[in-house]
Every structure is written in C-alpha cells, then in structure tokens.
Amino acid sequence: MDNINDLKGEDLNEEEIEEGASRIEEYFDDDTSSEEKVSEELKLLYLLTDIDKKLADIEDEKGDLPDRIDILSENIKRHEDRITENKNTLEIINSEIRKIKKESKSYEEKANKLDEEKYNVRNNKEYDMKTKQIDEYLEVLEKNEKSLKEKDSLKETLEAETINLEKNLEEFNSERNTCIEELNTLNEEFKEEEKEHNEKRNEILKNIDSEIRSLYERINSSYKGEAIAIVRKGNCSGCYNSIPPQRVMEIRMADKIYTCQSCGRILIDETLVD
Ligand SMILES: [Zn+2]
C-alpha cells in the first residue's frame, strides 16, 4: 500500500512539474516559434495563391485549346488505325479475288475442253463421265461467282468507308493544326509572364514544408488559383459556409493547417493577410 501511495505521489509530482513547464514554455521560444512557422507558411501559401490565380488566368486565355488538341489527336489516331486496318483487309480481299479469278479461268478452260471432247467419245459411259465432270466444274464456277460477288460488295463497302475516314482525317488534321497554331501564339504571348510566375512560385515553394506543399498542390489542382480561403466573420471566403467558433479560434492561432470542411480549401484567418 505504501508503495502505491508513493507511486501516486510521484505521478502527481511529475504532472505538476510538466504543467509548470508548459506554462513557462508559452513565454519562451518553442511553442511561439512553431506557431510563427505555420503562420509564415500560411502567408507564403497566400502569396502562392496570388501567383497561381494569375497562372490560372493565363490558362483561361488558352481556354480549351489543349483539351481540344488532345481529343483531336485521339480521333486522328483512331482514324489512322481504322484506315490501316481497312487497307490491310482490302489487300487480303484483292488477293483472294485474284486467286478465285485465276481458279475460275482454269476451270472454265477445262470445262470448255471437256465440252469439245464429249462429241468424240467412244461410248455412252465416257460421255456421261465427261458430262459429270463438266457439271462439277460448272458448280465450282458458280460457287466462285457467288463468292466474287460477295467479296466485291465487301470491297466496295470498305473502300467507301476508307474514303470517308480519309476525308474526316483530313478535317481533323487541319482543325488540330489550327488549334496548335493558336495555342503556340498564346504560349509565345504569355511565355515571359508564365516564366516569371513560375520562378517566383518555385522560390516560395522552397520555403514551404513538403507536406504542406503537397496538400496545397493537391487542392490547387482542382481549385486553380483558389486553394486558399480567408476566414471572414466566421465564414469561409471560398464557399461561404460558416465555420464553428472554436475552429475559427484555432485557425487564428495558426499552430497547424486547417482546411474547410465544406470545400476543402486551406483556411487563413483574415488578420494574417490584411
Ligand atoms: Zn469553404
């Protein structure tokens, strides 16, 4: 029992000591400096947002040109593949047609030869045999004729489709070239400005903790240039939702990064940016 009491006594003493220490720490470096560090990073993020807003405006100027170029490129690839496929199939069909025609020609010659021979036969049996053979050849010829008709029709369809595909391909190519030219002009126009912004951006990023940086980049990838929202009169400036008073206080303390529970933007107290 004595031992337990002693232990309890020791625990209490340790808590008291810790409490005292933390009370003291508030007036000294540690806590204050970590607070300042996040405040500094929030201020840097705010500067970053300003640059990203300008970069987003430039992207807006370029509009949907990059997306259109991508979509057109996909279409062009699909058309080219289809045309190649059709041409390969046509080559196969043409070779089959040649083969059938060649076979038919030889069967026709054979049938004609037998037809002449059948008048010079010595007996009925021989005559019947030749007639039967002729019929067999004619049957093949008929079958070949039918097959040629089918292949010709397929060939016609594929050729017509290929012509259409080639026409569309030409239009897509010309549209893509126009888009690329427009985009190049805009890229050239904004090149210097973008370079300046990106240089400033990288300079700022160097001073931001990597975790906060990736959080910011993630949010900025969906809210182009609007990853930061300011807490004004208890509301998020990004989505206008109200923030609980306790959270508003914590955001003002700025000892860590908070994001809006409604829109996900990083929140900064207005006093930090005024
Ligand atoms: Zn919000």
CA of 274 to the centre of ligand 1 (A): 19
Sign of CA dihedral 78, 84, 85, 87: positive
* pLDDT attached to residue 36: 54
Q: What is the 3 state secondary structure string of 23-39?
A: HHHCCCHHHHHHHHHHH
Q: Which amino acid is at 256?
A: K
Distance (angstroms) between ligand 1 centre and the Cα of 112 equals: 91
Rounded to the nearest whole angstrom, what is the distance from the C-alpha of residue 242 to the centroid of ligand 1? 8
The CA 222 to ligand 1 mean position distance, Å, reads 14
- pLDDT of 7: 40
Tell me if the pTM is above 0.85.
Answer: no
Residue 40 CA to ligand 1 centre (angstroms): 21
Q: What separation in Å is there between the alpha carbon of 226 and the centre of ligand 1?
A: 11
227 CA to middle of ligand 1, Å? 10
Return the pLDDT at 37.
61
Of the candidates 43, 25, 52, 51, the one whose C-alpha atom is nearest the C-alpha of residue 254 is 43
Ligand 1 mean position, distance from CA 246 (Å):
16
* 8 A C-beta contact, residue 212 and residue 41: yes
Q: What are the residue ranges in the chain where pLDDT is below 70?
A: 1-37
Distance from the CA of 219 to the center of ligand 1, in angstroms? 12
pLDDT at 151: 97
| pLDDT at residue 38, rounded to an integer | 84
Report the 10 Å Cβ neighbour count for 58.
Answer: 15
Query: Beta-strand (E) ranges in the chain?
Result: 228-232, 235-236, 266-269
Distance from the CA of 194 to the center of ligand 1, in angstroms? Answer: 28
Helix (H, G, I), strand (E, B) or coil at 229: strand
How far is residue 143's CA from residue 102's CA, in Å, rounded to a whole number? 14
User: Ligand 1: distance of its center to the CA of 273 in Å?
Assistant: 17
C-alpha 243 to ligand 1 mean position (Å):
9
> Is domain 61-208 classified as CATH 1.10.3470?
no
Residues with CB under 5 A from ligand 1 (ion): 236, 238-239, 260, 262-263
Report how far ligand 1's centroid is from the alpha carbon of 41 (Å).
19
Query: What are the φ and ψ backbone dihedral angles of 139, each rounded to 5 degrees?
Result: -65, -45
- At 272, the amino acid letter reads L
Q: How many Å apart are CA 220 and CA 134, to the nearest integer?
A: 82
CA of 229 to the centre of ligand 1 (A): 7
Q: What is the pLDDT of residue 19?
A: 43
Q: Report how far ligand 1's centroid is from the alpha carbon of 270 (Å).
A: 14
Non-local CB neighbours of 147 within 8 Å, separated by 6+ positions: 100
- How many whole angstroms separate alpha carbon 177 and alpha carbon 72? 10
Q: From ligand 1's centre to the CA of 264, what distance in Å?
A: 6
